[in-house]
């Protein structure tokens, strides 16, 4: 690989130039190998935040991140593979329902998930509320579970795009997280390296999401779809609303309980709607959608009907057992609870997602630093969704914590987050756009 002068590359990017592919490959390889210092890469990343990347630059940057580690080979599995990634939100327990549902419909789902940071929850933190469940799987065990059960939810292996791990830690402490090319390449390098044949992205937008601008959400979705498609992964995206938290719970153990209720054929309507919408696209990309048929020649299953039947719950139980968990074990319960009453009688017209997420975080469900522990039983449950009727003084939100002293700050976070009106608010769409 040709050698370059890192300072020259920083200057070029600072001045708005587009770097050639061999320079980008050298820069990332040198940084991963310790030959480019953190402060030099931080300067380069800040220049990217100012000037962005061209499509060619971003393709080369993502390819170099993938090349920094291994790429899993999932060929030969008895089912077509398809995965899903969410950019994160409050109450987003979709993966816990979606993965076993799509498996129940005939696909294999190798979902590498992450942990929460700040007020948005992490799928691995939720799953670890299940006694005995383990997130770490090596590639051989992952393949075996996929072949036998059909689905895994696990931590991304250390060998997948290791350059991204170093870059993300550096971006986190240098104010360079908010760059769409850097966000897109961080997500897609790991998903492409994971080896799945198809991918659906859930790009959330609103007060409880990383993206608060609809225009930015569209740009991020288009960028990631293009990266996946160019890398040979069939990729589509939904842009979904996150001004109101999803479902009726936020936290880790509380969200697992709600996911299980949904897998048994119940669950809140908004969670079911988002899950089924994503499942239909995943099945289409896996070749199992309408118009296709299974090996028996029977029509492809309808994910809405499969979910309502409770069939996905049996897959969930098998998935939990395969990763060391006990699906029959009781979930952690909080030591303390506190009720927040409805402020007035009428219709709930607003429940602000970010405020709910911050409250859950303050109760112990989230972390301020990646090394912090989370409290499995901590979180919230709300007893009414937007558009439903409430009565003044009756319970609206219930807080859960193992530390009673966390309640005042959680209640403070919810101040101004709830609005009640005399007339029922107009319903707002959950799915805002479909990016192909």
Residue with token string 């959680």: 410
User: Any residues with CB less than 8 A from the CB of 343 and at least 6 apart, and which?
Assistant: 392, 396, 418, 420
pLDDT at residue 333 greater than cutoff 50: yes
Are residues 197 and 104 part of one domain? yes
The residues pairing with 111 across neighbouring beta strands, listed in sequence order, are 153
Catalytic hit among 171, 191, 248, 362: 171
Per-residue model confidence as pLDDT tens digits over 91-100 = 999 999 999 9
User: Any residues with CB less than 8 A from the CB of 278 and at least 6 apart, and which?
Assistant: 84, 94, 98, 200, 202, 238
Catalytic hit among 79, 85, 126, 143: 85
Are residues 149 and 176 part of one domain? yes
- Annotation marks residue 164 as catalytic: yes
- For residue 434, is it within any domain? no
Strand duo 336-341 + 395-401: pairing: antiparallel
Are residues 312 and 209 part of one domain? yes
Q: Give the Å distances, CA to CA, from 336 to 333, 341, 401, 402.
A: 9, 17, 5, 6
* Across 97-111, 158-172, 225-239, least confident range: 158-172
* 30 HSE (CA, 13 A, CB side): 20
- Annotation marks residue 186 as catalytic: yes
Catalytic hit among 95, 185, 186, 189: 186
Domain-ending residue, one of 322, 351, 368: 322
Domain-ending residue, one of 322, 348, 378: 322
Domain-ending residue, one of 322, 344, 364: 322
Are residues 282 and 371 part of one domain? no
Are residues 178 and 103 part of one domain? yes
Residue 59: Cβ within 10 Å count = 18
- Domain harbouring 237, CATH code: 3.40.1030.10
- State how far the Cα of 414 lies from the Cα of 342, in Å rounded to an integer: 12
Catalytic hit among 164, 202, 243, 284: 164
Domain extent at residue 26:
6-52
- Annotation marks residue 370 as catalytic: no
Are residues 344 and 318 part of one domain? no
Are residues 377 and 314 part of one domain? no
- State how far the Cα of 418 lies from the Cα of 411, in Å rounded to an integer: 12
Strand duo 379-382 + 389-390: pairing: unpaired
Are residues 236 and 171 part of one domain? yes
- Annotation marks residue 60 as catalytic: no
- For residue 394, is it within any domain? yes
- For residue 66, is it within any domain? no
What's the domain count of the chain? 3
- State how far the Cα of 365 lies from the Cα of 252, in Å rounded to an integer: 6
User: Any residues with CB less than 8 A from the CB of 149 and at least 6 apart, and which?
Assistant: 103, 315, 318, 319, 322
- For residue 369, is it within any domain? yes
Per-residue model confidence as pLDDT tens digits over 375-432 = 999 999 999 999 999 999 999 999 999 999 999 999 999 999 999 999 999 999 999 9
- Annotation marks residue 296 as catalytic: no
Are residues 314 and 341 part of one domain? no
| Under 8 Å between Cβ of 326 and 131 | yes
Per-residue model confidence as pLDDT tens digits over 154-207 = 998 888 999 998 998 899 889 898 899 999 999 999 999 999 999 999 999 999
Catalytic hit among 79, 84, 143, 190: 190
């Amino acid at each position: 690989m040709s050698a370059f002068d890192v300072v020259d590359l920083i200057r070029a990017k600072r001045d708005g130039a587009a770097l050639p592919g061999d320079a980008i490959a050298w820069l990332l390889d040198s940084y991963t190998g310790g030959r480019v210092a953190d402060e030099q890469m931080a300067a380069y990343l800040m220049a990217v935040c100012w000037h962005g990347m061209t499509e060619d630059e971003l393709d080369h940057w993502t390819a170099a991140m993938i090349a920094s580690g291994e790429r899993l080979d999932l060929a030969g599995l008895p089912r077509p593979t398809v995965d899903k990634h969410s950019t994160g939100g409050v109450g987003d327990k979709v993966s816990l329902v979606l993965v076993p549902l799509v498996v129940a419909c005939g696909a294999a789902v190798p979902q590498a998930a992450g942990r929460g940071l700040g007020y948005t929850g992490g799928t691995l933190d939720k799953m670890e509320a299940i006694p005995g469940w383990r997130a770490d799987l090596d590639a051989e065990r992952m393949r075996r579970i996929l072949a036998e059960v059909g689905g895994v939810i696990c931590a991304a292996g250390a060998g997948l795009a290791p350059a991204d791990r170093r870059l993300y830690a550096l971006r986190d402490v240098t104010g360079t997280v908010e760059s769409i090319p850097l966000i897109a390449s961080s997500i897609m390098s790991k998903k492409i390296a994971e080896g799945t044949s198809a991918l659906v992205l859930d790009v959330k937008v609103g007060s409880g999401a990383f993206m608060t601008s609809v225009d930015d959400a569209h740009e991020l979705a288009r960028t990631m779809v293009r990266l996946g498609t160019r890398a040979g992964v069939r990729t589509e995206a939904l842009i979904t609303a996150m001004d109101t938290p999803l479902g009726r719970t936020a936290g880790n153990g509380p969200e697992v309980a709600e996911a299980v209720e949904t897998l048994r054929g119940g669950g809140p309507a908004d969670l079911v709607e988002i899950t089924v919408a994503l499942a239909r696209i995943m099945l289409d990309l896996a070749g199992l959608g309408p118009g296709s048929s299974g090996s028996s020649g029977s029509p492809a299953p309808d994910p809405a009907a499969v979910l309502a039947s409770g069939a996905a719950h049996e897959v969930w139980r098998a998935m939990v057992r395969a990763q060391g968990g006990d699906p029959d074990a009781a979930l952690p319960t909080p030591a303390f609870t506190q009720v927040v009453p409805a402020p007035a009688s009428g219709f709930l017209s607003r429940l602000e997602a970010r405020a709910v997420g911050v409250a859950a975080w303050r109760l112990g469900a989230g972390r301020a630093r990646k090394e912090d522990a989370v409290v499995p039983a901590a979180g919230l449950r709300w007893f009414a969704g937007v558009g439903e009727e409430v009565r003044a003084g009756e319970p609206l939100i219930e807080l859960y914590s193992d530390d009673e002293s966390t309640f005042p700050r959680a209640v403070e976070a919810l101040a101004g987050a709830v609005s009640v009106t005399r007339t029922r608010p107009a319903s707002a769409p959950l799915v805002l756009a479909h990016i192909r």
